[in-house]
């Protein structure tokens, strides 16, 4: 069924790939062409182009995915052992809602086959149909956006790249368990939005916090299902996008580190890069490297999620003055940490799988000093409010 909504890869890309050596990525990716539909049963990672821009403020600009594909396919592979398939592009509908429907159907079909999806898209509102694709999977969804602002907007206006989060939060069925923002800049966020993030126990991280220690993003991304990257969160000096000038933002190195953390996450099943300017080679080069690092991370996944057996984890118990215990686990395999969230597992709901929250060793050290980590407090309040 997915191929019913897809246009194959352009012939220009097929010819370009045929000119590459066997060491290049293009020579190792299976392409959906006019004459060939790939076998999805053996695919581990799928690349999907969505040149849809009607939800953008720069809707008149066409999205050129040829540039991305050429820059990506001429890169060399790492030590990768996973089948990658380029599905081509979503066929755009007569209305934006038609494109949303196609995205949802294609993504849902891929998720059911346990295929990790990489989306190279137009405007960031495409995150919404990607989120809706999880509706039939009977699970709560964690969404992480890499963005300089919170994309809340007025609910009675048409959804756009700047307001898609409002629709995700308010629309039923509401399968959103947690939303995290990586890299927001305070002068782009109203106090009302910041208060709303706090009220809903969401997790915003300022750009300065992340620049000081990029590793704080790892446990957040480890707990994500969808990662949505806004290219306008990256400095214009690295993207070449001066149509929407960005003096402050992630550097090229930082965004690639974030992408690699997302790839390593056993849980991330959709990774999207959005809001490209249109036809910039410099931006396509950076997009290609962002995707390269995601796949590089994917190949080093530890396959520790969901955690079903704690026998290979060291258990740490911290007792507080009120005699309440806080439990941590450290994987003997990956050396990564988790903290246990008290949940009534006798209550039948979708939250049973959230009993362990990814964390860093620093949060364990904070607990040993008698302080409950902030992320532990937020998660516990959120879970209890749902139960």
Q: Over the range 228-252, which residues count as b (16 or more CB within 10 Å of their CB) and which as e?
A: bbbbbbbbbebbebeeeebeebbeb
pLDDT at 138 over 90: no
Q: Are residues 196 and 92 in the same domain?
A: yes
Tell me how far CA of residue 179 lies from CA of 11, 144, 251, 379, in angstroms: 39, 6, 23, 11
pLDDT of residue 382: 84
Q: Are residues 282 and 380 in the same domain?
A: no
pLDDT digit string (tens) for 323-382? Answer: 789 999 999 999 999 999 987 654 444 444 447 999 999 999 999 999 999 999 999 888
Q: Are residues 251 and 199 in the same domain?
A: yes
Question: Would you mind telling me the total number of residues written for the chain in this entry?
Answer: 387
**CA atoms of 274 and 202, how far apart (whole Å):** 22
Residue 305 corresponds to which tokens in the numbers above?
């999620």
Q: Are residues 352 and 378 in the same domain?
A: yes
pLDDT digit string (tens) for 44-70? Answer: 999 999 999 998 765 556 778 999 999
> Mean pLDDT, to the nearest integer, of 238-256?
92
Q: Are residues 171 and 112 in the same domain?
A: yes
> Mean pLDDT, to the nearest integer, of 21-36?
96
**CA atoms of 269 and 227, how far apart (whole Å):** 8
pLDDT at 258 over 60: yes
Domain tally, the chain: 2
Tell me how far CA of residue 119 lies from CA of 50, 67, 77, 89, in angstroms: 7, 15, 19, 10
Confidence at 158, pLDDT banded by 50, 70, 90: confident
Q: Are residues 194 and 341 in the same domain?
A: no
Last residue of a domain, one of 268, 298, 328: 298
DSSP 304-321: --S----TTEEEEEEE-T
Kindly tell me the sign of the dihedral angle through the C-alpha atoms of 36, 40, 41, 45.
positive
Kindly state whether residue 304 falls inside one of the protein's structural domains: no
> Mean pLDDT, to the nearest integer, of 299-312?
91
Q: Are residues 270 and 366 in the same domain?
A: no
Peptide bond into 173 cis (omega under 30): yes
**CA atoms of 98 and 77, how far apart (whole Å):** 36
**CA atoms of 227 and 1, how far apart (whole Å):** 25
Q: How many C-beta atoms lie closer than 10 Å to residue 140's C-beta?
A: 18
Lowest mean pLDDT across 48-62, 136-150, 166-180, 354-368: 48-62
Kindly state whether residue 305 falls inside one of the protein's structural domains: no
Please state at what angle helix 281-298 crosses helix 252-264, rounded to 10 degrees: 30
Confidence at 76, pLDDT banded by 50, 70, 90: very high
Please state at what angle helix 65-73 crosses helix 281-298, rounded to 10 degrees: 50
Kindly state whether residue 75 falls inside one of the protein's structural domains: yes
Q: By CB neighbour count within 10 A (0-12 exposed, 13-18 middle, 19+ buried), where does 179 fall?
A: buried
* Domain CATH code at residue 35: 3.40.800.10
Q: Are residues 285 and 159 in the same domain?
A: yes
Give the helix/strand (H/E) hosting 121.
Answer: strand 116-121
Last residue of a domain, one of 252, 273, 298: 298
Among candidate residues 325, 353, 321, 326, the one with its CA nearest the CA of residue 339: 326
pLDDT: is 60 or 140 the higher one? 140
pLDDT: is 307 or 23 the higher one? 23
Kindly tell me the sign of the dihedral angle through the C-alpha atoms of 8, 11, 16, 20.
positive
Tell me how far CA of residue 254 lies from CA of 38, 143, 160, 261, 262, in angstroms: 34, 20, 27, 11, 13
Kindly state whether residue 57 falls inside one of the protein's structural domains: yes
Kindly state whether residue 63 falls inside one of the protein's structural domains: yes
Name the residue range of residue 327's domain: 313-386
Looking at the DSSP assignment, which residues form a beta bridge with residue 272?
Answer: 119, 228
Contact 128, 100 (CB under 8 A): yes
- Helix then strand then coil, in percent of the chain rounded to 5, is 40, 20, 40
Q: Are residues 379 and 287 in the same domain?
A: no
Collect all residues with Cβ–Cβ distance below 8 Å to 15 and sequence separation of at least 6. Answer: none
Among candidate residues 136, 158, 161, the one with its CA nearest the CA of residue 272: 161
Confidence at 156, pLDDT banded by 50, 70, 90: low
pLDDT of residue 193: 92
| Percent with pLDDT over 90 in the chain | 80
pLDDT of residue 381: 84
Contact 217, 173 (CB under 8 A): no
Q: Are residues 319 and 243 in the same domain?
A: no
């Amino acid at each position: 069924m997915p191929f019913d909504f897809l246009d194959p890869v352009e012939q220009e890309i097929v010819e370009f790939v045929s000119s590459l050596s066997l060491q290049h990525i293009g020579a190792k990716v299976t392409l959906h062409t006019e004459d060939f539909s790939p076998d999805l049963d053996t695919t581990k990672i799928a690349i999907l182009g969505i040149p849809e821009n009607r939800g953008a403020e720069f809707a008149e600009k066409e999205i050129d995915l040829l540039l991305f594909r050429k820059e990506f396919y001429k890169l060399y592979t790492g030590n990768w052992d996973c089948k990658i398939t380029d599905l081509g592009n979503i066929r755009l509908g007569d209305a934006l809602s038609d494109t949303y429907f196609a995205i949802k159907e294609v993504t849902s079909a891929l998720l059911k086959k346990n295929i990790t999806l990489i989306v190279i898209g137009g405007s960031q509102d495409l995150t919404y149909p990607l989120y809706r694709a999880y509706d039939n999977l009977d699970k709560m969804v964690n969404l992480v956006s890499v963005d300089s602002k919170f994309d809340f907007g007025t609910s009675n206006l048409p959804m756009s790249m700047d307001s898609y989060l409002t629709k995700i939060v308010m629309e039923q069925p509401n399968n959103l368990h947690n939303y995290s923002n990586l890299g927001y800049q305070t002068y782009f966020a109203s106090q009302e939005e910041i208060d709303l993030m706090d009220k809903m126990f969401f997790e915003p991280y300022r750009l300065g916090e992340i620049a000081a220690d990029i590793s704080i993003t790892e446990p957040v991304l480890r707990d994500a299902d969808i990662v949505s990257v806004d290219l306008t969160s990256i400095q214009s000096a690295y993207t070449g996008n001066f149509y929407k000038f960005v003096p402050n933002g992630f550097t090229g190195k930082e965004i690639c580190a974030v992408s690699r953390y997302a790839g390593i996450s056993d849980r991330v099943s959709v990774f999207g890069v959005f809001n490209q300017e249109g036809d910039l080679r410099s931006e396509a080069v950076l997009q290609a490297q962002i995707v390269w690092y995601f796949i590089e991370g994917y190949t080093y996944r530890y396959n520790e999620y969901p955690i079903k057996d704690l026998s290979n984890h060291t258990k740490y118990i911290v007792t507080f003055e009120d005699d309440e215990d806080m439990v941590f686990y450290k994987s003997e395999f990956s050396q990564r940490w988790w903290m246990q969230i008290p949940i009534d597992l006798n209550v039948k709901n979708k939250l049973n799988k959230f009993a362990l929250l990814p964390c860093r060793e620093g949060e364990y050290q904070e607990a040993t000093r008698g302080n409950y980590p902030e992320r532990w407090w937020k998660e516990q309040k959120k879970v209890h409010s749902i139960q």
